[in-house]
Amino acid sequence: MIKTQIIKSKDLKKDDIKQLIYQTIQAGQTVVFPTETVYGIGGDALNPFAVKQIYQAKGRPSDNPLIIHIAKKTDVFLYAKHVSSYAKLLMRVFWPGPLTLIFDKKEHVPKETTGGLVTVAIRYPDHLVAKQVIKIAQKPIAAPSANLSGKPSSTQFKHVFDDLNGRVQLMIDGGDSMIGIESTVVDVTKPIPVILRPGFITKEMMESILGVKVVDHSSDKIDGPVKSPGMKYTHYKPKGEVKILKGSSENMLIYIQNEQNKLQKQAIICSNESASTFNSFYVKSIGSMYHLDQIAKNLFSALREMDEMGIDLIYVEFFPEAHLGHAIMNRLLKASGYQVIPV
């Protein structure tokens, strides 16, 4: 078991802390740090040994590619063979930010980082601590979400600690994530950009910039190699069973009452607007239907709270799928094993 050191983000200005982060990354070891999306578990993206430590700490399948985080926009040209005009537009408008772009990789990017693929996923994050870590490390940082593989991603430091204490060398406590769901992933190796994972940067936002219809393959079920994290393996799943109920809150209540099993601990995750309907059950309201950014921010922490409470059966309200709702439902569908029940 590794002895994990914990540091506060406010201490990153201290020379001894900078030196600690630098030495940890240079030695091929792992550092957990916050980003604007979720927490990441990072290591030197160009060091196969470091990348293997990331996979091992998470229990992540080695054919599930990692995202390289860079220190500035122009660093993309160090790792990508070709940067299309569409990619440059997206970079100009949405970088730094919660957008990952997939390029054909240059030869020196290790296959361990890319899951054996000839493409590489790259992001320039918009979070002060993430930027500081990359700058201090003087390396591109490969960083998937900082959680055990398959579990809901970590948006609070306590989630990181619960999953990875004793599995990584360093953890940086940077408070809560601002966005709460992982970055949008877009393949820009094709003539027209293809969304592989929806996120805060939506299809509509990209189309308004690019002036073309963007292809969305994020709902495709993949058995073979994948270019993006989150496309193939079980993701975002709490210990309890998740059932998504699609219909009015009144019909949801009737369904839950008819199905109620006193041997199971049950809970409901829903919008603020629906919460009062379920006053005889344990209810976790995570935001307004009119502010889907609230729901996105609180989604993973709500799923993790279900585990903390020992909930066996989790009913979740179906949220509108337009715009950011598409990313929210993408995570919930995977968490539920695509279990949607019309009510």
- Using DSSP, state whether 25 is helix, strand or coil: helix
Helix extents (H) in the chain? 15-26, 48-58, 76-79, 85-94, 128-137, 157-164, 203-210, 249-259, 292-308, 324-335
Residue 225: predicted pLDDT: 59
Q: Is 111 exposed, middle or buried (0-12, 13-18, 19+ CB in 10 A)?
A: middle
Helix extents (H) in 80-145? 85-94, 128-137
Torsional sign, CA 145, 146, 147, 152:
negative
96 prior amide bond cis, ω within 30:
yes
Which run of H or of E encompasses 84?
A: none
C-alpha to C-alpha distance for 177 and 181, rounded to whole angstroms: 9
Give the phi and the psi of residue 77 in degrees, each rounded to 5. Answer: -75, -15
Task: Give every CB contact of residue 80 below 8 A, 6+ residues apart in sequence.
Answer: 103, 104, 105, 106, 120, 122
- Does a structural domain hold residue 87? yes
Same structural domain for residues 161 and 289? no
What integer is the mean pLDDT of 303-323?
Answer: 95
- C-beta of residue 39 within 8 angstroms of C-beta of residue 115: no
What integer is the mean pLDDT of 304-316?
Answer: 95
Same structural domain for residues 258 and 202? no
Same structural domain for residues 257 and 205? no
C-alpha to C-alpha distance for 315 and 241, rounded to whole angstroms: 8
How does strand 194-197 pair with strand 215-216? Answer: parallel
What's the domain range around 74?
5-216
Give the phi and the psi of residue 313 in degrees, each rounded to 5. Answer: -135, 120
C-alpha to C-alpha distance for 30 and 53, rounded to whole angstroms: 7
pLDDT level of residue 223 (50, 70, 90 thresholds): low
Helix, strand, coil percent content, the chain, rounded in steps of 5: 35, 20, 45
- Looking at residue 28, which CATH number applies to its domain? 3.90.870.10
Count Cβ atoms below 10 Å from residue 216 Cβ, excluding itself. Answer: 15
Same structural domain for residues 138 and 189? yes
DSSP 158-203: HHHHHHHTTTSSEEEE--S-SS-SPPEEEE-SSSS-EEEE--SS-H
- pLDDT single digits (tens) 114-162: 999 999 999 999 999 999 999 999 999 999 999 998 899 999 999 999 9
Same structural domain for residues 198 and 308? no
Same structural domain for residues 194 and 332? no
**Structural domain tally of the chain?**
2
- Does a structural domain hold residue 20? yes
- pLDDT single digits (tens) 44-69: 999 999 999 999 999 988 778 999 99
Residue 317 has pLDDT above 70, yes or no: yes
- Does a structural domain hold residue 227? no
Same structural domain for residues 201 and 283? no
pLDDT level of residue 305 (50, 70, 90 thresholds): very high
